[in-house]
Amino acid sequence: MLRRALAVSISVLLLAAPARALDVQVKDVRAAPAGVQTSIELRDVIPDRFKHVVDEGGVLHVRVQTELWESRPVWDRLVYPAMIRMFRLVRTAAGGDVALLDADGVSVPLPGRSGKSGDSGGPGGRVPLVMDLGDRGRLSTESRYYLHVIATVGTLAEREVDEAGDAVFGRPGESNGLGSLGRLVFRTALQASSYLQSVSAETKSRRLSGRDIMQ
């Protein structure tokens, strides 16, 4: 009986669907009239471990960092400072769709009807983003380049920082001067760090000639 139960358990584990994980893909790098841009694709933006956060009305934070590098024989050179774009991943209405919202209020809807765990396929199958990189005058047609992208999904939120501070230093109305100072330092440290919980994915594009990018 024990062996049979063990065999059934192993079979269930082998047949279980693999957990979704954040992924990022580079689609292209091109020169536009206003500068150099890249098109990337985020996949499975809501990893399985964070689905309950969105289902319960919470907020996820998405950070996308892009770096264009010149490929050289000895030391590669960073062409532009790293470009970072931040998003809040929220449900747009009660029971409604899930979307990425940036600081300018631009909304990028996620694939899937509502983003709930029970939906077929779930949200965030393929989310296209266009990122500005910098001035096209920094590129040379004779050089070769590649794009490095790091995407991070995390759960840091104001409420989580406050609750963690309450647990350590007590509530603001109950804290003495030393406790208030500790709360301030603790809050600053948390906000300066990455995320309370996070999942990251990164990728590099193939080598591209400056001539191809400029065309």
Q: CA-CA distance, 23 to 25, in Å (whole number)?
A: 7
Helical ranges in 113-209 per DSSP H: 158-169, 177-192
Q: Examine the pLDDT at 93 and tell me if it is beyond 70.
A: no
Q: Of 68-82, 156-170, 200-214, give the lowest mean pLDDT range.
A: 156-170
| Summary count for the chain: helices (H), strands (E) | 5, 11
Strands 35-43 and 23-32 come out as antiparallel
What's the pLDDT score for residue 144?
Answer: 96
What's the pLDDT score for residue 138?
Answer: 93
Strands 35-43 and 127-134 come out as antiparallel
Strands (DSSP E) found in 97-165: 98-102, 107-109, 127-134, 144-154
Confidence of residue 75 (pLDDT cuts 50, 70, 90): very high
Q: What pLDDT digit, counting tens, does each position of 166-205 carry?
A: 544 455 554 444 445 554 555 455 444 444 578 889 999 9
Q: What is the mean pLDDT of the chain?
A: 74
Nearest to 117 by CA among 13, 17, 9: 17
Q: CA-CA distance, 120 to 112, in Å (whole number)?
A: 8
Q: Average pLDDT in the 69-77 region? A: 94
Q: What pLDDT digit, counting tens, does each position of 108-134 carry?
A: 877 764 444 444 334 556 889 999 999
What's the pLDDT score for residue 185?
Answer: 54
Strands 60-71 and 144-154 come out as antiparallel
DSSP class of 22: -
Distance of CA 106 to the CA centre of its chain: 16
Q: Examine the pLDDT at 143 and tell me if it is beyond 90.
A: yes
Contact 70/143 with Cβ under 8 angstroms? yes
Q: What pTM was estimated for this model as a whole? A: 0.68
Q: CA-CA distance, 136 to 68, in Å (whole number)?
A: 12
Q: CA-CA distance, 167 to 124, in Å (whole number)?
A: 34
What's the pLDDT score for residue 140?
Answer: 93
Strands 144-154 and 208-209 come out as antiparallel
Q: What pLDDT digit, counting tens, does each position of 29-38 carry?
A: 999 888 999 9
